[in-house]
Amino acid sequence: MAAVRPVDPGPSEWALPDPDTTDDPSGLVGFGADLEPATLVDAYRRGLFPWPHDGLPLPWFSPDPRGVVDPTDVHVSRSLRKTIARSAWHTTVDRAFDDVIGACASRSRHEGTWITRPMRKAYRTLHRLGWAHSVEVWDGERSDRLVGGLYGVQLGGVFTGESMFHRERDASKVALVDLARRLVDAGGVLIDVQLLTPHLESLGAVEVARDDFLARLARHRDDDVTLDASALPVTRLVG
């Protein structure tokens, strides 16, 4: 199964702000607009992403510094290598997008409610149009059991990760390592993780200045990069 090439959603009805219009320490650049495909694609092309907060109009962010991962330099720890070697898991792309975003939404309820029903609906639509993708990690013995995964938005050679989840230890890490390998193989150059966390830092994520991130995004957002969606064994990630 091949990943779907993006469908042009048309022009946005909103004049979204550019990131350099704010010096807010959180990266907040404005409120409002909507979650229509044209709005979201325009926002990601500008380096913006929505992050709903209860009781507020829809906020848009572009943090400075920005968390990123060089897909050629993902860190695979010794313990993760052991997990990969003994798990017999396999991975796919876009095999179960709805299940992945649903699992991420369930996890996020413990950390806030930013993956709201409207957000889930919006990113499902982006997925159908070929802009949003998921990476799935499947059980080696029960091939229909999802043990981890992630989803995000791809603009050419840049993949912006939105959320990840795991039901087995290290399964979300495997999803990110798998994404990095597939992205490099397809000619991609950058994984945007938005904000740095200890979990992501352990995999090689670093902070870069927003201007540097935006410059790389502008250079590569229109690259012809299509992820391989084949089912692949995770053992190749340390081969």
Question: Which pLDDT band holds residue 21 (cuts at 50, 70, 90)?
Answer: confident
Name the range with the highest mean pLDDT among 18-27, 106-115, 174-183.
174-183
State both tokens at 98: 């709805």
219-232 average pLDDT score:
96
Question: Residues 54-106: pLDDT tens digits?
Answer: 889 999 999 999 999 999 999 999 999 999 999 889 999 999 999 999 999 98
Question: Residues 204-213: pLDDT tens digits?
Answer: 999 999 999 9
Reply yes or no on whether the pLDDT at 194 is more than 70. Answer: yes
Within 10 A of 212 (CB to CB), how many other CB atoms are there? 14
Question: Residues 121-140: pLDDT tens digits?
Answer: 999 999 999 999 999 999 97
- What pLDDT is recorded for position 1? 44
pTM: 0.95
- What pLDDT is recorded for position 205? 97
